[in-house]
Structure 1
Amino acid sequence: MTKITDWCTIKSEKVGKHHLTVLELESGKFDVASDTVAAVVPSHYASDERTAKLLKRLGKTKAAAHLKEKLPKSPQVRSGDLGEILGATYVQESTPFGTSINKLRWKDHRNMAMRGDDLVGIQPAAGAGNIRFLKGEVKSAANITAKVLDTARTALKKSHSRPSAHALGFIADRLHEEGNDELADLIDDALWRDGIRLSQVSHMIFAFTGNDASNLLGANVQTYTGQVAQSVVGLRVKDHQKFIRSVFRKVIKNADGK
C-alpha cells in the first residue's frame, strides 16, 4: 500500500451535504513518497504471480523487461495512470469500498488511457440491493482547471449516474477468472437481475494536482443537485511533473535491481 496518510497532511470538511478532502505532500517527504508509490506501481501493471513465474523461468532481466514493456512512455499517459493508481489506493485505504482488481493490467496499449469508468469501488453485501458501488473519475494535471473538473462531473452522470454495465461486467469477468466467484456473483446479480438503485451508488472526483484545487473542487461539488452521495478529493504534490518522473524512474530502477 502507498500509505498516503503517512506522507500527506489531511484536511476534511463538509460542502453542503457532501465531503471535501484535501491531501498535500508534506515538506521534506518527496523521496519517501515517491519511493513508496514506486514500490506499488508494478502490481498495477502485472500481477505478482505473473512476474514470479517469469522470474523463475526466464530470469531477472526478462522479468524486468516484461514490466518495462507495460509502463507508459507518454508523459500524459503516465500522469493519468499514476492518478488512477493513487485514486484507487485512496479508495482502498480511506473508504469502505474496495477496488477488487488492478485494471491497468488489461490496457490495450501502454501509451493509451484505459477506457471506461476511472474508478469502480465495491462494498459487498449479500442479499438483493445490499451491495454498494463507488463510481469515480480521476483527473491528473500540474494545473487543474474548473473546466477539467466539469468534464469529470459530466462523466459521473453518464449511465444514469451508475457505474457502466461495461465496467461492472469487465470487473466481474476478471473476478471469475481469478476464482473470486462470490464477489463476481454479487456484481452479476446487481447488474443483470436486481438492478442498481441510486441509493446504492456514491460518486467521487479524485484530482491529483500541482496546484491547490480545494476551492475548485468545493465549487464543483456545490453544483451537484442529484440524489447520489458525493465526495471530492484533492491530492496536491507541488512538483507534480517531477514526482511522476521520479516515480516511474524508480520503478524502472527497481525492476533492473539497481
Structure 2
Amino acid sequence: MAQFNDWCDSNDELVGNHFCRVMTGRVGQLVAGVDATAAVVPGHYASEEHLARALRRLGKPQAAALIEGKLPTTKAIRSGDLGEIFATEWIAAHSGGYQAPIKRLRWKDHRNMAMRGEDVIGIFQDPQTLRLHFLKTEAKSRASLTTKVVNDARANLEKDGGLPSAHALSFISARLLELGNGSLADAIDDVLLKYGIPAAHVTHLLFTFSGNSPKSMLKASLGTYSGMFKQWCVGIHVDGHAVFVGAIYDKVIANANHP
C-alpha cells in the first residue's frame, strides 16, 4: 500500500451529498511517501509472480532490468501512470470495500504510451446478493492542475451514459479469467450480458494528483454536478510534484538494483 496516512494530512468535506477529500503531503515526510510508493510501483507494471520468477531464474541484475524496462522514461507518462497508481492504491485502502481487481498498467502497449479507456474501475460485490457495484474512476496528474483538466475528467466520467464502458469491463473480465478468477469474471459478464448496470450501482471517483491544491476546483466540480450518480472527489497535493514523481521512479530503480 502507498501508506497515505503516513505522509499526508487529510481533509474531508461534503459538498451537497457528495464526498471530497484532499490529502496534502507533509513537507518533512515526503521521503516516506517516496519510499512507500516506490515499494508498490513495480507490482503495477509486472506481477509479483513474474518478478519472482525472473529473480529465481536469472538473478538480481536481470530481474532489475525487467523492472526498469517496464517503467516509463518520459516525465508526462510517469506522472500520468503515478496518478493511476495512486488512485488504485487509494481505492484498495480507503474506499470502504471496493477493489481494483487488475493492475491495468501491466498490459500497456508500450511503456511510454498512455492507456486508453477508463483509468481505474473499482468493483465491490455485495456478499448477500452477489451483485456488483462499480467505482468508475478518472485520474488526472498535473504539476499544475487547472479547471479545464478537472472539467475534462468530469466529461470522461459522463461518457457511456456515466456507466463503466462495456469495453473496459470486458477487458477486466478477460484478464481475470487469465488470472484464474473465474467467479468475478462471470459476475462481470452477467452484468454485461444479462442484468445490465443500474445507475444506483455506480459511483464516480474524480481523482487528482497535483503540485497545487485541488480543493477549490474539486469542490466547484461537485457543486455544479446535477447528474444522477453519486460523486467522490479525491485529490493529492504535493509541493514539488515533478521532483516527487522523479524521486519515486529513481527509488524504484535503485531498489531493483540494490544488492
- Shared fold (TM-score, shorter chain, > 0.5): yes
Q: Structure 1 stretches of 5 or more lacking a match?
A: none
Partner AA of 1:205 in structure 2? L
Which residue of structure 1 lines up, in the alignment, with residue 87 of structure 2? 87
Cα distance between partner residues in 2 of 1:128 and 1:249: 45
TM-score (norm 1): 0.97
1:143-176 per-residue CA deviation (whole Å, 9 max, x = no partner) reads 1000010000000010110111111111111111
Check the 8 A contact 2:131/2:187 in 1, yes or no: no
Identity %: 45
Which residue of structure 2 lines up, in the alignment, with residue 183 of structure 1? 184
Cα distance between partner residues in 1 of 2:6 and 2:236: 13
Check the 8 A contact 2:8/2:23 in 1, yes or no: yes
- For residue 159 of structure 1, give the secondary structure of its aligned residue in structure 2: helix
1:76-106 per-residue CA deviation (whole Å, 9 max, x = no partner) reads 0000000100011111111121001111000
1:168-226 per-residue CA deviation (whole Å, 9 max, x = no partner) reads 11111111111111111111111111000100000010010110110011001112111
| Number of aligned residue pairs | 258
Check the 8 A contact 1:129/1:196 in 2, yes or no: no
RMSD: 1.2
Partner AA of 1:54 in structure 2? A
How far residue 249 of structure 1 moved from its aligned partner, in angstroms, is 0.2
Cα distance between partner residues in 2 of 1:140 and 1:84: 8
- For residue 141 of structure 2, give the secondary structure of its aligned residue in structure 1: strand
Alignment of 1:222-241 (within 5 A): 222-241=223-242
Cα distance between partner residues in 1 of 2:225 and 2:129: 28
Which residue of structure 2 lines up, in the alignment, with residue 64 of structure 1? 64
Which residue of structure 1 lines up, in the alignment, with residue 245 of structure 2? 244
Which residue of structure 1 lines up, in the alignment, with residue 166 of structure 2? 165
Cα distance between partner residues in 2 of 1:141 and 1:61: 33
Q: Is 1:144 aligned with 2:149? A: no
Check the 8 A contact 2:6/2:32 in 1, yes or no: no
Which residue of structure 2 lines up, in the alignment, with residue 135 of structure 1? 136
1:41-96 per-residue CA deviation (whole Å, 9 max, x = no partner) reads 00000111001111111111111111111100010000000010001111111112
Structure 1 stretches of 4+ with a deviation exceeding 4 A read 126-129
Check the 8 A contact 2:15/2:219 in 1, yes or no: yes
Which residue of structure 2 lines up, in the alignment, with residue 38 of structure 1? 38
Partner AA of 1:226 in structure 2? G
Check the 8 A contact 1:13/1:20 in 2, yes or no: yes
Cα distance between partner residues in 2 of 1:129 and 1:135: 19
How far residue 128 of structure 1 moved from its aligned partner, in angstroms, is 6.8
Partner AA of 1:238 in structure 2? D
- For residue 114 of structure 1, give the secondary structure of its aligned residue in structure 2: coil
Check the 8 A contact 1:129/1:190 in 2, yes or no: no
Q: Structure 2 stretches of 5 or more lacking a match?
A: none
Which residue of structure 1 lines up, in the alignment, with residue 17 of structure 2? 17
Cα distance between partner residues in 1 of 2:212 and 2:125: 35
